[in-house]
A and B are shown apart, each in its own frame.
Chain A
Amino acid sequence: MTKMRMPYQCMQKCGTLLVAARGSNIDLFNLNDGSFISTWQCPPSQGAVKVKPSIAEASPKLENKGSESSSVDITVESSAPPAKRRKLSEDGQDENSAKTHGEENKGGTKKTKKEKKQGNRLDSVASGLDAPAVIALAVTSDSQHMIAITGEDKSIRVFSVTPQDGVANLQHLSQRQVIFNQS
């Protein structure tokens, strides 16, 4: 039984080269003869990112847990008369650790719904790969540089497409990460 090959989700032509992304890898091919040249693999993202793809399975669960406990608090809160809720809500607050969202007291049940949705989102966005997946590619008109967006870590990465010792190679020049803003 031969194994299936990973499909390429996006591709660009770069002069006489083909730049093609499969999952978190970017492959370089020669378009003159179709030969494979080299590959670049996106490293698993580290600390700075909130949702680490490397623990993609664990983190949605964690998140869900958080939203569940907070949603319970909220429903309790909104079903009772507004003031004089001191004791209960404070207890809830402590449990909600660092991940609590800023505006619990505003939202009521609507917020609860939203948080549940947020849990879903993590599942639906995650590609199941160990490292962030490439979601878009672009090549400069002079074929000197290639730009890739990696999804899970929200980064714009710039590569130079330079021949090294006669072999074309992708050299990772910069990674600019869009910080996940909480508000």
Chain B
Amino acid sequence: MPKRPCALTITDDNTTILSADKFGDVYSLPLLTSTPPEASKESSQVPDQLFKPSANELTIHSQRNRKALENQKRQNKVKTEKSGPEFEHSLLLGHVSLLTDVKLAKSGERTYVITADRDEHIRVSRGIPKAHIIENFCLGHKEFISRICIPGTRPEILISGGGDDELYVWDWEKGLLISKAELRSLVERFTGDDKVGKVAVSGIYHTRQGEADIIIVTIEGVSALFTFSLGIDNTLKQEQTLELGGNVLAAVTGIEAPDGTTSRVLVSVDGIHRAGSTTELRDSTEEPISPFQTFSFANGVLTQDSFAIGASEESEVAEGVMGGLRNLLYSLENLRKRDGEEGGKEEDAVMVEQGGGNE
């Protein structure tokens, strides 16, 4: 039964959406709905088959049983009101953990679905319609995985990151760990604080610089971009640490740059929290920063350029919203398990406390 979707991707033929949800299921749905939603709504309201408790009022022995029966009946009612989703969909595969990312991959003629979850798994499944068949797992992460990236130019490679101190580079088809790249020490060097403690990867992006493959990594609550070059030997070599005016929220690569290449990178920057903090808000007296910054390669080095994205209408933050935005912008660290916590349960995953002293 589908739950809140967490990640999505689209098939190569642009007809099907794959949605990964927080109960560990991936299901597919057509991009365009063939039947009008009204019609499907009506049909789903016809109760198919009511669950019938095998006991009745005459067969129960105790008050407890009576209550159990009452509950069964009540649940029945609830179920007919709220059945599955009302739209056409089909279940492709299931994890026993909250899913964080889903990607489609190709090797030769074969297609694969690759999924990452909170419980350190990267699963390689066959492509639709046989995604229930598991080809492989890429195992080795010790903390949650939040992002996976398959560089367009290197489809045999998968780069994953999450709550671990390193990025992992995989030969996903074989399930082999090829190399790792240290991240936490880079963050520590950037912040000048050797007690950073934890990092949570919020984005892994691929771009090209000439003939080289560049991987750009963002970390939750850190105001910098970290770039790596992906070598022929499939190792990541640290290249640059670029400071931004605020925490990085998202990035887009492959934008056309003045030199005709598609090497421009656009970054979304948090202008309401202080750089390096996910809790402290900026002073309202500070000069507001633009929510976008752009970079392009100059002499092989990624440098900030002057390209500016305009402002939309009514783009200012309403006063009341600011506090709540933290949940929207910085939710990854919540995936980390606390001591003694058992993984794989949905409620644990979202329930992780906001860390007492944060408010």
In residues 146-183 of chain A, which contact B (Cβ within 8 Å)? 147, 149, 151, 154, 156, 158, 173-183
**A-B contacts at CB below 8 angstroms, number:** 232
**How near does chain B come to A14, taking the closest CB pair, in angstroms?**
10
Chain B residues with CB under 8 Å of A158's CB are 17, 31-33
Contact A156–B255 (Cβ < 8 Å): no
The answer to whether A11 and B250 touch (CB under 8 A), given A18-B309, A29-B309, A124-B354, is yes
Check A29 against B310 for contact (C-beta < 8 Å): yes
Contact A89 B63 (CB under 8 A): yes
Q: How far apart are the CA atoms of A29 and B322 in the complex, in Å?
A: 24
Tell me whether A18 and B312 are in contact in the complex, defined as CB-CB below 8 angstroms, given that A140-B14, A179-B83, A181-B82 are known contacts: no
A9 and B84 form a contact (CB under 8 A) = no
Other-chain contact of B62, A25, A83, A141 (Cβ < 8 Å): A83
Point out the residue from A4, A124, A176 that lies within 8 Å of B334, measured CB to CB. Answer: A124
Q: Does B53 contact A (CB under 8 A)?
A: no
Binding site for B on A (CB under 8 A): 1-13, 16, 18, 20, 22-23, 25, 27, 29, 31-32, 34-36, 39, 82-86, 89, 93, 100, 102-105, 114, 117-118, 120-121, 124-129, 133, 135-136, 138-142, 144-145, 147, 149, 151, 154, 156, 158, 173-183
- Listed by A's residue number, 29 A-B pairs whose Cβ atoms lie within 8 Å are A3-B284, A7-B268, A10-B250, A13-B253, A16-B256, A18-B255, A22-B315, A29-B309, A83-B64, A85-B63, A89-B63, A93-B67, A118-B347, A121-B351, A124-B334, A125-B350, A127-B327, A140-B10, A142-B14, A147-B8, A147-B31, A154-B3, A154-B4, A158-B32, A176-B37, A178-B2, A178-B3, A181-B3, A181-B84
Given contacts A8-B291, A34-B308, A154-B4, 5 further A-B contacts (CB under 8 A): A5-B288, A36-B311, A128-B321, A178-B4, A178-B85
Chain B residues near A (Cβ < 8 Å): 1-10, 12, 14, 17, 19, 21, 29, 31-33, 37, 62-64, 67-68, 71, 74-75, 78-79, 82-87, 246, 249-256, 266, 268-272, 282, 284-285, 287-288, 290-292, 307-313, 315-317, 320-325, 327-329, 334, 347, 350-351, 353-354
